[in-house]
């Protein structure tokens, strides 16, 4: 009975980890990565649309991102969206495409990025712990309604703790990897 709840909780934890990975991919680490512009949206015929849906994004060199809109009239709009974003990069526009040159990170900027990453990692840990808490509350309800024995309740909580430990360790590993990427000169 409790196995389905544990399995469902694990699926939710996996989603939290995937969300963290996607979120951290948008934080620049001195190298060009097309995911850096994923969260930036432009007005396309009155609708806010992600740049990746209106342009081809490529990385021809380690520190350069090229954005080539499918509709040339969007070049100015994309350029404006990038300038107003928190990316901190000035785009250069030649009328047909936009070139983003990723400058090397300063020591101060690296520290700021690590603080931002720590915040995201802490949010992911909180999400994992909240999933555990919700599952444990559900186990208590099942035990009260006699759908779960005391022994099964104890086993279920132990399994949830093991699962939580596993995913917290995974979050820590993701953090170490991103920190290493940011500190790399």
Rounded-to-integer distance, Cα 126 and Cα 133, Å? 10
Q: What is the mean pLDDT of residues 26-39?
A: 76
pLDDT band at 175 (very low <50, low <70, confident <90, very high): very high
- The token duo for 175 is 């953090």
Percentage of the residues of the chain whose pLDDT score is greater than 70: 98
Count of other CB atoms within 10 angstroms of residue 181: 17
How much is the pTM? 0.73
Q: What is the mean pLDDT of residues 59-65?
A: 86
pLDDT at 18: 92
pLDDT at 17: 93
**Going by DSSP bridges, is the β-strand pair 41-44/64-69 parallel, antiparallel, or unpaired?**
unpaired
User: What stretch of H or E contains 91?
Assistant: none
Q: Name the nearest CA neighbour of 168 among 124, 120, 133.
A: 124
Rounded-to-integer distance, Cα 19 and Cα 16, Å? 5
**Going by DSSP bridges, is the β-strand pair 47-50/41-44 parallel, antiparallel, or unpaired?**
antiparallel
Average per-residue pLDDT in the chain? 87
Q: Is the pLDDT of residue 28 over 70?
A: no
pLDDT at 132: 94
Q: What is the mean pLDDT of residues 46-54?
A: 86
pLDDT at 185: 62
pLDDT band at 104 (very low <50, low <70, confident <90, very high): confident
Q: Name the nearest CA neighbour of 23 among 99, 109, 108, 127.
A: 127
Digit-coded pLDDT (tens) for 117-174: 999 999 999 999 999 999 999 999 988 988 888 898 899 999 999 999 999 999 999 9
Buried b (16+ CB within 10 A) or exposed e, 121-144: beebbebbeebbeebbebbeebbe
The least confident of 30-39, 78-87, 140-149 is 30-39
* Helix extents (H) in the chain: 2-25, 75-84, 107-144, 150-183
Q: Is the pLDDT of residue 53 over 80?
A: yes
Rounded-to-integer distance, Cα 138 and Cα 135, Å? 5
Q: Is the pLDDT of residue 87 over 80?
A: no
The C-alpha torsion from 111 through 113 and 114 to 117, rounded to 10°, is 160
Rounded-to-integer distance, Cα 74 and Cα 7, Å? 45
pLDDT at 159: 92
């Amino acid at each position: 009975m409790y196995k389905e709840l544990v399995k469902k909780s694990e699926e939710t934890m996996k989603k939290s980890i995937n969300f963290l990975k996607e979120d951290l991919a948008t934080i620049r680490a001195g190298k060009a990565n097309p995911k850096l512009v994923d969260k930036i949206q432009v007005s396309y015929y009155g609708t806010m649309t992600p740049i990746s849906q209106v342009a081809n994004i490529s990385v021809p060199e380690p520190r350069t991102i090229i954005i080539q809109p499918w509709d040339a009239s969007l070049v100015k709009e994309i350029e404006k969206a990038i300038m107003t974003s928190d990316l901190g990069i000035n785009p250069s526009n030649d009328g047909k495409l936009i070139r983003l040159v990723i400058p090397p990170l300063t020591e101060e900027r690296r520290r700021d990025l690590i603080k931002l990453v720590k915040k995201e990692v802490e949010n992911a840990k909180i999400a994992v712990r909240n999933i555990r808490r919700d599952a444990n509350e559900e186990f208590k309800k099942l035990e009260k309604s006699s759908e779960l024995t005391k022994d099964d309740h104890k086993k279920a909580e132990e399994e949830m703790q093991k699962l939580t430990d596993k995913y917290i360790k995974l979050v820590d590993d993701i953090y170490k990897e991103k920190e290493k990427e940011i500190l790399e000169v």
